[in-house]
Amino acid sequence: MLNVDLSPISSFVTPETLAAMEPRVRAAHETLTSGTGAGNDYTGWRYLPRDYDKEEFARIQKAAKKIQSDSKVLVVIGIGGSYLGARAVVELLRSPNYNLKKKDTPDILFAGNTLSTDAILETIELIGGRDFSINIISKSGTTTEPAVAFRIFKDLIEKKYGKEEARRRIYATTDKAKGALKGLADAEGYETFVVPDDVGGRYSVLTAVGLLPIAVTGIDIEALMGGAAEAMEAFSVLSMDNPVWKYAAARNALYEQGKRVEILACYEPSFRFMCEWWKQLYGESEGKDGKGLFPASTEFTADLHSMGQFIQEGERIMFETVVRFDKPKGTVTIGEDPDNVDGLNFLAGKDLSFVSEQAIRGTRLAHVDGGVPNILVEVPEVSERWLGQLIYFFELACGVSGYLLGVNPFNQPGVEAYKKNMFALLGKPGYEDMKQALEARL
Ligand code: PA5
């Protein structure tokens, strides 16, 4: 089981303070498991690792094999919860350089997560003349960014292959019954996968939303689900020894003491999109009703040379949660240099992981000394199994933490504001009055 080490926050939050939170954490966890809390109709992710649709899972694996056999590129179109999870898992388990590495699985190009003309043009350029397929992912089917991108790539694929073959290369992941994308997919005859009704976007990585693109890259999605299932079992324990309880209690205790920013940090560059996924998970779940920790992220040691100054000596509003993987994939030994001009011979014969370890230890002490508490999440290694555990850990802790904070962790009313303004300004039918009012203000 992954471990949460709270010893580096003990000078900020005493063990007694944490122990005193036990009844509140218990109540929050029980609210979640009993399904009696706000937003309870969006908690289907809790039992997904055990109760997922096995028939659909087999179809995902079959579709992934087909895409691997007939495509050099898979264009994955989606935004927010319909994008970040897949990218996070692929980058961590495969590589941020996945497309550059020699391999026998298709490149993955993510689209529909921006309205940038340049980005779309570059994606088209990167596909070039290669065979490709499309996975359009949108629960609502009406989100502007992916819908616009899908129009463009649908046109491209139909021009390349003709309508008949194109429809065999388009996979739609959307609501099981409603929405514009579901209607289009049925009309055109695309293979469809389901975003379950009771799973919100940011909790959907372990549904077809994440699993199809992830499987196309050759990642073992059974092992990923297996890890999540282990976590579901292990983290159901109602006890302050439960890592989920420790994390939820610690971050809320720090918030109550006045901390306003939580920085998720990792020493693996491949963790960058896990941070992006985590930021959406916690930001959308807790940032409401004038409350919540602002989720930020850093990539160490690179950011120690940029954000390190602020973390060490700036406004004392933050704490860090450091995710640490114990075992690297291999070893790199530092060599001996007879000239020793760089003065590094004292490290000769040492493994690079030893150097990294001292950076982690030294940074933790420096930041704690600077008034930045550190929560440590220890994960044995980067693998499907342990990532499955980590994903479930963060999801469950987010639900518990949101109820502790006193918000509905499963809605996102604030996301609508910009969408409405954009629709009005674009001249969408039904928004005429709003358009006039907005234009007058601009
Ligand atoms: O968490 C959320 O609900 C959002 O981030 C959505 O996932 C995002 O807006 C995409 O929505 P949809 O899948 O409906 O296109």
- Asked if residue 337 has pLDDT above 90, the reply is yes
pLDDT digits (tens, 9 = 90+) for 291-308: 999 999 999 999 999 999
Rounded to an integer, the average pLDDT of 348-377 is 96
Q: Assess contact for 44 and 283: CB atoms under 8 A.
A: no
Annotated catalytic residue within 284, 286, 384, 395: 284
**Considering 54, 305, 315, 416, which one is annotated as catalytic?**
305
- Host H or E run for residue 246: helix 243-256
Q: How far is CA 212 from CA 140, 174, 215, in A?
A: 18, 12, 5
Model-level pTM greater than 0.85?
yes
* 367 catalytic per annotation: no
Mean pLDDT score, 308-326: 97
Instruction: Given the residues 419, 420, 432, 439, select the one marked as catalytic.
Output: 419
313 in the Ramachandran plot: left (φ > 0), alpha (ψ -120 to 50) or beta? alpha
Q: Is 60 left (phi over 0), alpha (psi -120 to 50) or beta?
A: alpha
pLDDT at 119: 98
Position 283 confidence tier, pLDDT thresholds 50, 70, 90: very high
Between the CA of 142 and the centroid of ligand 1 the distance, in Å, is 10
Helix axes 54-70, 221-234, angle to 10 degrees: 150
Per-residue model confidence (pLDDT) at position 142: 87
Is 284 a residue of the active site?
Answer: yes
Asked if 419 is an active-site residue, the reply is yes
Question: What letter does residue 357 receive in the DSSP assignment?
Answer: H
The SS3 of residue 109 is strand
284 CB less than 6 Å from ligand 1? yes
> Which backbone phi and psi does 133 adopt, to 5 degrees?
-130, 170
Backbone φ, ψ for residue 107 (5° rounding): -65, 150
Q: Is the pLDDT of residue 26 over 90?
A: yes
- Ligand 1 neighbour 139 (Cβ under 6 A): yes
Q: What is the pLDDT of residues 97-123, one digit of tens each?
A: 999 998 999 999 999 999 999 999 999
Q: In the predicted model, what is the mean pLDDT of residues 336-361? A: 96
